[in-house]
Homo-oligomer: A and B are copies of this chain.
Amino acid sequence: MKNKDHITIAHGSGGVLSRELLDEYVFAAFSNPYIDQKHDGAVVPVDGQLVISTDSFVIDPIFFKGGDIGELSVNGTVNDVAMCGGIPAYLSLSFIIEEGLALADLKKIICSIRKAAERAGVQIVTGDTKVVEKGKGDKIFINTTGVGTLHLKADIRLQRVRPGDRIVINAPVAAHGMAIMSQREGLTFESDIVSDTQNLNKMVEVMLDRFGEEIHLLRDATRGGLAGVLNEVAEDRNIGIHINEEAVPIDSQVAAACELLGIDPLYVANEGVFMAVVSESVAKEVVELLRKEFHQTESGVIGECTESHTGKVVLNSHLGGKRFIYPQIGEQLPRIC
């Protein structure tokens, strides 16, 4: 293994090789007035209430159908800021790299990060790079922390969820998890399933512009899937949530793969799906907005909040029955994000 093609421990030393790596790979990719200071931090302007969110990404494999760990690490954090009603503006970027990672792979990942940051309209303003010995990490882990200002019309709080509110989702469920699973397990029969990773902040910003306080809560359905976030809301707010199974959009290939593997798609991780709890009065308009202006053609109202079945999520199945959707206990699929 040659030093010039792969990451070595010396790249993490704080010496000349560290600086070269930063100059050639990181600073070259993310030039802006803040990161160009090459300091250990950045000074940036803000105005108003601040939204902060952090996520570490440990997904395996690092390159997958529909994206890679770099794109995911931007979208994931940008989306979390958006789910708080924030307009993400700045990201920090921190790598933990396993010795031996090909520099070509690092370059690809950094390129994805740059593109995803451009799409989401955020700037990478500060960062950090550490290297660990072979066998003490797994290729690369990425942490991003997102900072933005709170949308002036946002009042996103669990306490605002109330009976009668509608549950809107923007896109079909289970694509990300099934893309990772099929690739990791070598299930070539589902080769067309791609991750749904996308930035949601632009949609959320326009939703808040348009509907303001009628948007009561936003959650992206990542680890634990749609079932996970619905249960969190039902339990923490002590409210019932009724979901119509046939209203939940799912791609037919994804559904087939789930059925074949005996997996409930409601528990499968997504990376571009959020649910919005909104006033009944605006639910249809929110769906129209997402469909027409953001090409979320499968967006729909999937259910509502109720006074009955407090703390529970109830699924009205397309066969006419009802069943509880319980939170999952342990892992369905580790290292999905």
Contacts and interface: CB of A to CB of B under 8 A. Distances in A.
Interface of A: 8-10, 12-19, 37-46, 49-58, 60, 80-81, 83-86, 90, 92-96, 125-128, 130-133, 135-138, 141, 143, 145-147, 150, 157-158, 219-220, 222-224, 228, 232, 236, 269, 327-332, 334-335
A16 B52 CA distance: 25
Given A16-B329, A54-B145, A133-B335, 17 more contacts: A10-B330, A13-B331, A15-B224, A15-B328, A15-B330, A15-B331, A15-B332, A16-B327, A16-B330, A18-B224, A38-B236, A40-B84, A41-B52, A94-B145, A130-B335, A132-B138, A145-B145
Contact of A53 (B41, B56, B146): B41
A50 B43 contact: yes
A150 B96 contact: no
Contacts of A86: 41, 43
Contact of A43 (B14, B93, B150): B150
Contacts of A40: 53, 55, 80, 83-84, 219-220
Contact of A16 (B43, B90, B328): B328
A80 B50 CA distance: 20
A147 B43 CA distance: 10
A43 B150 CA distance: 7
A53 B126 contact: yes
A331 to B, nearest CB: 4
Nearest to A138: B136
A331 B132 CA distance: 12
